[in-house]
Chains A and B, each alone.
Chain A
Amino acid sequence: MTKQELDRRDFLKGAVVGGAAAAGTAAIATPEIALAQQSSPAAPVAAPGAAGYAFLNLDEAAFVEAMVDHMVPADEISPKGTDLGVNVYIDRALAGAWGKGDRLYMQGPWKQGTPSQGYQLPLTPAQLYRAGIEATNAHCRKVYGKSFDRIEDAQRQEVLVGLSTGKVSFDNGLPARMFWATLYQTVIEGMYSDPIYGGNRNKAGWAIIGFPGIIAVHRDHVEQYRGKPFPNKPLGISDMS
């Protein structure tokens, strides 16, 4: 995250306290719109990828943007996570039915059980994400003196490795690996789900691996491309709608 973006968050927090909602809206919109225009100059921005957040608050947005840009850095393979819209995907997923616990059996009693019994927290994915970001930032402040979005790249790496291996534990009792599992899954979904969900912008996620998307028919391709690379021009649902 750049110095400029950090300042934006600090400014916005001040603005909300001061009741200047209109100023906040304008400030949020500007960099997001610029980003969308930059990566997709010709196409209008589809609703799921539109600027602004539906679920994430300012701290959470800063965490998610820093996290997806760290996990998916810009390089010769693809643009960085925020340019792929992974942060937008995560926000929309948490704001939507899945984030609110659609299809999740939410009756107690609540017990942790054994690992083989699967997810047993009394939290929807959105509640888990919120508590997990809060706990990760608390961990970062304790160890590094700053929240996740403000620490060095090597420190971010250390935190994510700690979450993924179970070395980091949270003071608030939330199982860190449960948070990690959900966080990692949403990053993957944001890279590789159809662009209608807000991530995989311009199908640049699919292009990483040469996945052609939703080609109508492959019946003749099986013979034609046997052992040969298939053209890497992915199609998404909106391209065929």
Chain B
Amino acid sequence: MTTKLKEVDVVIVGLGWTGGILAKELTEAGMKVVALERGAPRSSENDYSLPNIRDELRYVVRHDLMQDTARDTITVRNNPQQEALPMRRLGSFLPGEVVGGSGVHWSGHTWRWTDMEFKVRSNYEERYGKKFIPDDMTIQDWGISYAELEPYYDKFEYTAAVSGKAGNIGGEIKAGGNPFEAPRARDYPLPPLTPILASEMFTDAARNAGYHPFPRPSANASQPYTNPDGSKFGGCQYCGYCQRFGCEANAKGSPHTTVIPIAMRNPNFELRTHSWVTKVLKDSDGKRVTGVTYTNVLNGEEFEQPANIVLLCAYAINNVHLMLLSGIGAPYDPVAQKGVIGKNYCYQTGAGATLFFEGKFFNPFMNAGGSNATIDDFNSNWSFDRAPHNFVGGYNVSGGFNTPLPIGYRPVPSGTPLWGSDWKRATAKWYQTAMVINAAGSVMANRYNCYDLDPTYRNAFGQPLMRMTFDYHDNEHKMGRHAAGVINDIAKSMNPTRLNPATARTDPWTVVPYQSTHNTGGTIMGTNRRDSAVNKYLQSWDCHNLFVVGANVFPHNSSYNPTGPVGALAYWTADAIKNRYVKNPGPLVQA
């Protein structure tokens, strides 16, 4: 028995960054909006406060803010010949499951993706010829330009309190910033965070090697800040508990402390938590959607929420899952290379070295989410010639720390025993005197990396789990070897006492351990309905009143973290809906 509710203008599925931005923007435009969030209503005051938030076991190891895989998970395999099996607990990536979504537990790294990505196929074909791109690499242009998105990047950076140093303002290169970034209209809202010793040492070494280091732009407020909407931030406390945690200092740009409370104050808005959306409903002619069905997970009751506009704003994987479960758009078939829903799932790759400096105290526990320094010389730097190395894409390299908490991080030189007194002595000696240099690398789309519905396993609602087929291919292996070489050269130039060098990964992708919560693709954007699921406004080609918002629209994955363009595209889509769609509902781009 499904209870049919009163129709609203807009229903939003998932209330993280994208849902929060759209909820605020559309309620302010006078639209009646209902948001359905699967998770609980947690707040900074009540949940992310001292001392309880500083609990590595609860938040990092036990995944307190993350999706509950007992209720819904995915199945995984490396290639279509394998049988997919369920990811029985989280590991490689960590989708959030509370009000604020993954915007609560991210570390805040905020990048502007540029035409390097948006015109990826055109760029490489023009410079290197069509044959440079392997046949099975299904990269394609995105159908959007950096110039179109620039004001929306700006809006997101000022909303989320991004601290950083501009490298290019209006075409003028600025010392101390990223000289390879695309031109921005103005600087970041806040100056960079105070550098830590490890990032300073990396900066010096990278500069001496001829590279262009800069402080990593990050939504960790370097000082108290009030954003243009009036949301107040405290200054970052460098507490070391950033990624995987809510911020008790209100210093991390998060939707539950910015856009969501603003929407909540608007009488046009209603939030229903513990609401699990099971399906998007199509009209009889298949040209529109009419709303969604959802289950109240507190009592199992089922509802239909009719709406004029449906916005899928869940985690990237869940958005694609809902499209497949709802039968909207043609499912992708990697053999025939037909269909679009599930196409071009991408992930990220990387390599890392640990450097040990006897007697040097890095104090790794004093650390902001974004206090690392970075070089972009092998990523957005188009004058880095890929031809001799024969790979598409790039990687950025950072020096510093990532979540250096003691259950997960106790670096020791290779060859140290795993237990006993010698092990204890090594951890005692090196915990504070080691630092890391990491590369984060892009993953280009491959025809066999995709999603579909699993034929065997089901979730708690009786629906098929999503099946993920993914592995790294030759392109990523070549890039990994190049990145490991660059990392090791920088590391050796710093003369560490001991070095665990970076090695290029050659093994298949595995579901453990944690790697990156940057899952992209599946409902990709593009210029036509043959090879993409949504147009440049993230509007479904099939149902014009359905918008699918999130990293699921990225046709490939870059080396950068995804939240910058995820936030910018949410504002861009909000403008398209407010200013164009509601005045004349229909396709915003003619198919």
- Asked if chains A and B come from one complex, the reply is yes
Chain A to chain B contacts (Cβ below 8 Å), 13 pairs: A77-B421, A77-B428, A102-B70, A103-B89, A109-B456, A116-B510, A118-B88, A208-B427, A217-B237, A219-B235, A223-B194, A225-B363, A230-B366
Asked whether B419 lies within 8 Å of A106 as measured between CB atoms, the reply is no
Asked whether B57 lies within 8 Å of A227 as measured between CB atoms, the reply is no
CA distance A105 to B55 in the complex (A): 24
Encode A77-89 as 1/0 by CB contact (under 8 A) with B: 1100000000000
Q: Is A215 in contact with chain B by the CB < 8 A criterion? A: yes
CA distance A126 to B127 in the complex (A): 58
Q: Name B82's closest neighbour in chain A (CB-CB).
A: A114
Q: Is A216 in contact with chain B by the CB < 8 A criterion? A: yes
Asked whether B56 lies within 8 Å of A193 as measured between CB atoms, the reply is yes
B87 to chain A, nearest CB (A): 6
Q: Is A226 in contact with chain B by the CB < 8 A criterion? A: yes
CA distance A215 to B361 in the complex (A): 18
Q: Name A212's closest neighbour in chain B (CB-CB).
A: B365
In the assembled complex, which residues on chain B have CB atoms less than 8 Å from the CB atom of A211?
Answer: 365, 405-406, 431
Q: Is B76 in contact with chain A by the CB < 8 A criterion? A: yes
Given A104-B69, A209-B406, A239-B51, 9 more A-B residue pairs with CB atoms under 8 Å apart are A77-B421, A105-B88, A105-B89, A118-B511, A192-B410, A211-B431, A219-B238, A221-B366, A230-B361
A111 to chain B, nearest CB (A): 6
Q: Would you list which residues of chain A between 222 and 238 have a CB under 8 Å from chain B?
A: 222-223, 225-230, 236-237
Q: Is A194 in contact with chain B by the CB < 8 A criterion? A: yes
Asked whether A209 lies within 8 Å of B361 as measured between CB atoms, the reply is no
Q: Is B239 in contact with chain A by the CB < 8 A criterion? A: yes
> Which one, A111, A164, A226, contacts B85 given CB within 8 A?
A111
Q: Would you list which residues of chain B between 507 and 547 have a CB under 8 Å from chain A?
A: 507-512
Q: Name A181's closest neighbour in chain B (CB-CB).
A: B512
In the assembled complex, which residues on chain B have CB atoms less than 8 Å from the CB atom of A73?
Answer: 420-421
CA distance A211 to B362 in the complex (A): 12
Q: Would you list which residues of chain A between 190 and 211 have a CB under 8 Å from chain B?
A: 192-194, 197, 205-206, 208-211
In the assembled complex, which residues on chain A have CB atoms less than 8 Å from the CB atom of B69?
Answer: 103-105
In the assembled complex, which residues on chain A have CB atoms less than 8 Å from the CB atom of B428?
Answer: 77, 208-210
CA distance A134 to B305 in the complex (A): 53
Q: Would you list which residues of chain B between 150 and 207 have a CB under 8 Å from chain A?
A: 194, 196-197
> Which one, B73, B83, B196, contacts A113 given CB within 8 A?
B83
In the assembled complex, which residues on chain A have CB atoms less than 8 Å from the CB atom of B410?
Answer: 192, 209
Looking at A184, A189, A192, A230, the one whose CB has the most chain B CB atoms below 10 A away is: A192
Given contacts A114-B78, A223-B194, contact A214 B57 (CB under 8 A): no
Chain A contact-residue range equals: 35 or more
Q: Name B362's closest neighbour in chain A (CB-CB).
A: A227
Q: Is A188 in contact with chain B by the CB < 8 A criterion? A: yes
Q: Name B419's closest neighbour in chain A (CB-CB).
A: A71
Q: Is A72 in contact with chain B by the CB < 8 A criterion? A: yes
In the assembled complex, which residues on chain B have CB atoms less than 8 Å from the CB atom of A43?
Answer: none
Asked whether B360 lies within 8 Å of A227 as measured between CB atoms, the reply is yes
Q: Name A71's closest neighbour in chain B (CB-CB).
A: B419
Q: Is B389 in contact with chain A by the CB < 8 A criterion? A: no
> Which one, B51, B73, B237, B421, contacts A218 given CB within 8 A?
B237
Number of interchain pairs (Cβ within 8 Å): 179
Q: How many residues of B contact A (CB 8 A)?
A: 66
Q: Is B130 in contact with chain A by the CB < 8 A criterion? A: no
Given contacts A209-B432, A237-B52, contact A218 B239 (CB under 8 A): yes
B150 to chain A, nearest CB (A): 33
Encode B221-249 as 1/0 by CB contact (under 8 A) with A: 00000000000000111111100000000
Q: Is A241 in contact with chain B by the CB < 8 A criterion? A: yes
Asked whether A222 lies within 8 Å of B366 as measured between CB atoms, the reply is yes
Q: Which of B60-68, B107-115, B340-348, B565-573 lies on the face that meets chain A?
A: B60-68
Q: Name B364's closest neighbour in chain A (CB-CB).
A: A211
Q: Name A205's closest neighbour in chain B (CB-CB).
A: B406
> Which one, B197, B237, B507, B509, contacts A226 given CB within 8 A?
B197
B192 to chain A, nearest CB (A): 13
Q: Name A120's closest neighbour in chain B (CB-CB).
A: B85
CA distance A46 to B578 in the complex (A): 57
Q: Is A115 in contact with chain B by the CB < 8 A criterion? A: yes
Q: Name A228's closest neighbour in chain B (CB-CB).
A: B361
Given contacts A117-B76, A230-B363, contact A107 B458 (CB under 8 A): yes
A66 to chain B, nearest CB (A): 13
Given contacts A73-B421, A120-B88, A164-B418, contact A218 B360 (CB under 8 A): no
Q: Is A144 in contact with chain B by the CB < 8 A criterion? A: no
In the assembled complex, which residues on chain B have CB atoms less than 8 Å from the CB atom of A212?
Answer: 365
> Which one, B55, B88, B509, contacts A104 given CB within 8 A?
B88
Q: Name B366's closest neighbour in chain A (CB-CB).
A: A218
CA distance A237 to B49 in the complex (A): 11
> Which one, B50, B86, B507, contacts A105 given CB within 8 A?
B86
Q: Name B239's closest neighbour in chain A (CB-CB).
A: A218
CA distance A189 to B406 in the complex (A): 9
Asked whether B421 lies within 8 Å of A221 as measured between CB atoms, the reply is no
CA distance A33 to B489 in the complex (A): 55
Q: Is B279 in contact with chain A by the CB < 8 A criterion? A: no
Asked whether A78 lies within 8 Å of B360 as measured between CB atoms, the reply is no
CA distance A13 to B64 in the complex (A): 39
B34 to chain A, nearest CB (A): 28
In the assembled complex, which residues on chain B have CB atoms less than 8 Å from the CB atom of A118?
Answer: 76, 87-89, 91, 510-512
Q: Is B424 in contact with chain A by the CB < 8 A criterion? A: yes
CA distance A73 to B51 in the complex (A): 31
Encode B453-465 as 1/0 by CB contact (under 8 A) with A: 0001110000000
In the assembled complex, which residues on chain A have CB atoms less than 8 Å from the CB atom of B406?
Answer: 192, 205-206, 209, 211
Q: Is A11 in contact with chain B by the CB < 8 A criterion? A: no
In the assembled complex, which residues on chain A have CB atoms less than 8 Å from the CB atom of B236?
Answer: 219
Q: Is B274 in contact with chain A by the CB < 8 A criterion? A: no
Given contacts A114-B78, A184-B418, contact A209 B431 (CB under 8 A): yes
In the assembled complex, which residues on chain A have CB atoms less than 8 Å from the CB atom of B82?
Answer: 114
Q: Name B431's closest neighbour in chain A (CB-CB).
A: A209
Encode B360-375 as 1/0 by CB contact (under 8 A) with A: 1101011100000000
Task: Rank and list the top 4 A-B pairs by shortest CB-CB distance, nearest first.
Answer: A209-B431, A214-B54, A240-B51, A71-B419
Encode B391-435 as 1/0 by CB contact (under 8 A) with A: 000000000000001110010000000111100110110011000
Asked whether A218 lies within 8 Å of B240 as measured between CB atoms, the reply is yes
CA distance A208 to B70 in the complex (A): 36
CA distance A120 to B91 in the complex (A): 13
Asked whether A75 lies within 8 Å of B421 as measured between CB atoms, the reply is yes
Encode A140-168 as 1/0 by CB contact (under 8 A) with B: 00000000000000000000100010000
CA distance A78 to B421 in the complex (A): 9
Looking at B88, B91, B240, B427, the one whose CB has the most chain A CB atoms below 10 A away is: B88
